[in-house]
Amino acid sequence: MAVNEIALVVVSPAGLETATGLRSVLPGARIHGLAGRVDGDEVFTDTMEHLRHLFAAKIPIIGICAAGILIRAVAPLLSDKHNEPPVVAVAVDGSSVVPLLGGHHGANTLARRIGVALRVAPSLTTAGELALGVALDDPPPGWRLANPEAAKSVTAALLSEEPVALEVEAGDPSWLSGLTFSEVAEHAIRLTDRAVEHDESELVIHPAVLTLGVGCERGTPPQDLLALVQATLATEALSPLAVACVASIDLKADEAAVHALAAELGVPARFFTATELERQVHRLVTPSEVVFAETGCHGVAEGAALAAAHPQAELIVPKVKAARATCAIARSPQAVTPAAIGRARGRLYVVGIGPGTPEWRSPEASQAIALSSDLVGYGMYLDLLGSAATAKQRHESALGAEEARARRALELAAEGLTVSLVCSGDAGIYALATLVFELLDRAKDPAWNRVEITVVPGISALQAAAARAGAPVNHDFCTISLSDLLTPWETIEARLGAAAQGDFVVCFYNPVSQRRRDQLVKARDILLTGRPGTTPVILARQLGRPGETVEVIALSDLSPDKVDMLTMVVVGNRETRSFSAGGHTWTYTPRGYGKKMV
C-alpha cells in the first residue's frame, strides 16, 4: 500500500487539525474535505457518495469522523476482503484509532502509525495479531508473501499452539522473535529469496534482499531487458518477489526499458553516478575497460547491484549479457530499503491550480502536489494551496522571476526529487509550461533531459470568468496578453486588429500594471473599430478568492481605473448580449441556435 494513495476524509472543521497532523506522518496522503466546511486538497459535496467512490476505487480511507459514517457508507459494497482497501476510523480529536476493515491488509499498519503520531493505542481487533503480536499475512515493509493463502492455516496452527517450524534461508527473522517455533512440525514458515514450491502447510515469505543491477543500449526494447532478467532469475532459482530494486547508472534514468522492468517487478528504480559505481570496482567480477571508456566506471550492472545493496552484500550473479542488455544480482544480509539508496528519477509536475479556490483544482493537480516533496512558485500561488502545502519544501521567488522559478524546478528534479512548479490558472496559458520546455530545448542539459515531466492542466482565468458571467466564450474567441515585456507592442497591436476584423470574443490577460496604463485604452479603441460601444465587457476580479467581483460594463466605458492585474477582461463580439434574470446579469455569445428555434 502506497501512502500517496491514502484519503484523509474530514467532514467537520474540528477534524482538520487532526488530519493535517496525520498528513505529516503519511507523506503524500491527501485531505478530502467536505465543501463549505473543510479546506482540503480535494473537495466533495456528498459524504456517503464520496466514501463509496474511494472504496470502490480501492483507495485506503482514514475517516476523521464517527465510525458509523464509514460503516454505513461502505457496507453495501462489501464482498471480498482480499480485494478491498483498508478503512480506519479516527476520532476528530485524535483520541482513538480503530481499523474497521482490512486489518491484515494495511489497516492495522496504518492504525499503528496513526497511534504513534497521536500517542494513543490503536484499537486492534484481529485475533491473530492480538494473540501473536504479528500478522503473517501483513508482513513488515521489505517482505512479500509467495503464497498468501497459507497464512491462514499457519496462523491457525500457531493460535492452537500446534508446532510450527521456522526455516531461515535469507533475511533477518527478528520480526518473528515473539513466536515460538519447533524443530519438526507439519506447518512451517520459510524465509527465502529462492523460487520454491509450496503448499498451504508452508508459508513462504521473501525478504527484499536482492538488488538487480542492469545496463542496456539506448532505446533497448523493454521486452528484451525483461526477458534477460526473467531468464536470469529462473536460471538461478531466485524469486522476483525478493528483488528490492532495479539499479543502474544515472545515464539511464530516462531509459524506458529500465522503468518498464521496475514496474513489472513492482519495485522502485534507483540510479547512481559513474563515480558512485566506480567505488565498487574492487568487488567487480568482470570489470571492463571498454565500459569505463564509455561511462566512467568499470561495470554498470555489477556496480549498480552492489551500490544499491548492503555494504556486506555479495555479488551472487555476475554480469549476464544479452544482445543489447546486461544484468547482475547482489544479495544483502537483510532487507534493502530503496528509499535510502541512490536516486529516483526526478519528476517535475508543471501544475495549473486554477484561479484559487480548491473547488476549481483538479484531482490530478492535487495528486501532483501531494506526491511532491518540493513546491516552486510565486509566494501568493503557493499560499493559495492552503493545507496542501503543509510539510512541503517551499521555493519562492518574486513575481517577475519566472525563468528563475523554472530553472530551480528543473534543478531540483534533476537531483532526483519530485517537484511541482505551481502556476495559477492553467500551466500552459500565459504560465510556465512553455518556459520549462524552452529551457530544455535551449540548454540541452543532460541532467535536465532525464527528468520526467508532466504538465497538469488547470481551470484558466478565462474559463472561470466565463462561468461566473454566463457563456461569453461559447463561440470563437481568442486570448491576448497586453503586456509588452516579452512581446513587442507592434505585434500585440496587429493581433488586436485581426481580432477586431475577425469579430472574435477577446480575453485580455495582463490588462494593466502600475507602469502600463495606456495599452488597455489602445486595445479598446482598436476593438471599437469592429464592434459597437455597447458591446458587453466582463470584468472578473479575484476569481475563486475572497473579494471576488464580477461586473458587466459597456466597451466604451472600459478604462484602466476599472481594472488591475488581478482582473480578467472578457470583451464580447458583435453578437454578445447581456440580460437580467433571477437577480443575475448573464452574458452570452450565441452560436446560431436561434436560427433553429421555432
**Element containing residue 570 per DSSP (H, E):** strand 567-571
pLDDT of residue 2: 40
Q: Which residues contact 131 (CB under 8 A, 6 or more apart)?
A: 159
Answer whether residue 481 shows pLDDT above 70: yes
pLDDT of residue 496: 97
Looking at residue 140, the DSSP 8-state letter turns out to be P
Structural Rg of the chain based on CA atoms? 30
Q: Which fold has domain 210-340?
A: Nucleotidyltransferase; domain 5 (3.30.420)
Answer whether residue 596 shows pLDDT above 70: no
Q: How confident is the model at residue 274 (pLDDT cuts 50, 70, 90)?
A: very high
Give the helix ranges, DSSP H, for 99-245: 107-118, 127-132, 150-159, 222-235
Answer whether residue 582 shows pLDDT above 90: no
pLDDT of residue 146: 95
Q: Where in the chain is the domain with CATH 3.30.420.180?
A: 210-340
Answer whether residue 4 shows pLDDT above 60: no
The 10s digit of each residue's pLDDT in 284-338 is 999 999 999 999 999 999 999 999 999 999 999 999 999 999 999 999 999 998 8
Proportion of the chain above pLDDT 70, given as a percent: 97
Strands 143-145 and 202-207: antiparallel
N- to C-terminal Cα separation, the chain: 59
Mean pLDDT within 368-388: 91
What is d(CA 235, CA 492) in angstroms, rounded to the nearest whole number? 67
pTM across the whole model? 0.81
548: left (phi over 0), alpha (psi -120 to 50) or beta: beta
Answer whether residue 401 shows pLDDT above 60: yes
Answer whether residue 130 shows pLDDT above 80: no
What is d(CA 463, CA 471) in angstroms, rounded to the nearest whole number? 9
Closest residue by Cα to residue 351 from 363, 365, 371: 365
| Phi (first) and psi of residue 357, to 5 degrees | -70, 140
Closest residue by Cα to residue 105 from 130, 86, 132, 119: 86
Mean pLDDT within 494-508: 97
Mean pLDDT within 365-374: 91
The 10s digit of each residue's pLDDT in 239-269 is 999 999 999 999 999 999 999 999 999 999 9
Q: How confident is the model at residue 598 (pLDDT cuts 50, 70, 90)?
A: low
Q: Where in the chain is the domain with CATH 3.40.50.11220?
A: 3-125
pLDDT of residue 359: 83
Residue pair 586/580 in contact by the 8 Å Cβ criterion? yes
What is d(CA 536, CA 529) in angstroms, rounded to the nearest whole number? 15
Q: What are the respective helix, strand and coil percentages of the chain, to the nearest 5?
A: 35, 25, 40
pLDDT of residue 28: 63
Chain-centroid distance, C-alpha 416 = 14
Q: How confident is the model at residue 450 (pLDDT cuts 50, 70, 90)?
A: very high
Residue matched to cell numbers 461566473:
468
Cα–Cα separations (whole angstroms), residue 246 to 119, 240, 322, 330, 343: 37, 11, 17, 11, 11
b/e map of 164-180 (b: 16 or more CB within 10 Å)?
bebeeebbbbebbeeee
CATH class of this structure's domain 347-459: alpha beta
Written as one letter, the residue type at 301 is A
HSE, side-chain direction, 13 A CA sphere, residue 31: 31
Cα–Cα separations (whole angstroms), residue 579 to 70, 226, 582, 586, 587: 46, 64, 10, 5, 7
Cα–Cα separations (whole angstroms), residue 511 to 183, 200, 433, 540: 82, 72, 21, 12
Answer whether residue 16 shows pLDDT above 80: yes
Q: Where in the chain is the domain with CATH 3.40.1390?
A: 143-207
Task: Supply the CATH classification number for the domain 462-594.
Answer: 3.30.950.10
Which is higher by pLDDT, 327 or 24?
A: 327
What is d(CA 595, CA 476) in angstroms, rounded to the nearest whole number? 18
Q: How confident is the model at residue 3 (pLDDT cuts 50, 70, 90)?
A: very low
Proportion of the chain above pLDDT 90, given as a percent: 76
Give the residues across from 538 on adjacent strands: 552, 570
Answer whether residue 514 shows pLDDT above 70: yes
| Phi (first) and psi of residue 437, to 5 degrees | -70, -30
Q: Where in the chain is the domain with CATH 3.40.1010.10?
A: 347-459
DSSP 271-302: EE-HHHHHTTGGG-SS--HHHHHHHSSS-SHH
The 10s digit of each residue's pLDDT in 181-203 is 999 899 999 999 999 988 889 99
Q: Which fold has domain 143-207?
A: 3.40.1390
SS3 at position 128: helix
Mean pLDDT within 56-71: 93
Answer whether residue 422 shows pLDDT above 50: yes
Cell of 129: 495479531
Q: Where in the chain is the domain with CATH 3.30.950.10?
A: 462-594
- The sheet carrying 505-509 orders its strands as 477-481, 505-509, 567-571, 536-541, 549-554
Strands 374-378 and 393-397: parallel
Chain-centroid distance, C-alpha 82 = 25
Written as one letter, the residue type at 106 is G
DSSP 70-86: HHHHHGGG---GGGS--
Mean pLDDT within 217-238: 97
- The sheet carrying 393-397 orders its strands as 393-397, 374-378, 418-423, 347-352, 452-456
Mean pLDDT score across all residues of the chain = 92
CATH number for 3-125 (one of 1.10.1060.10, 3.40.50.11220, 3.30.70.260, 3.40.50.300): it is: 3.40.50.11220
pLDDT of residue 268: 95
Q: How confident is the model at residue 1 (pLDDT cuts 50, 70, 90)?
A: very low
Mean pLDDT within 554-559: 97
Mean pLDDT within 359-364: 88
Closest residue by Cα to residue 509 from 477, 532, 531, 534: 477
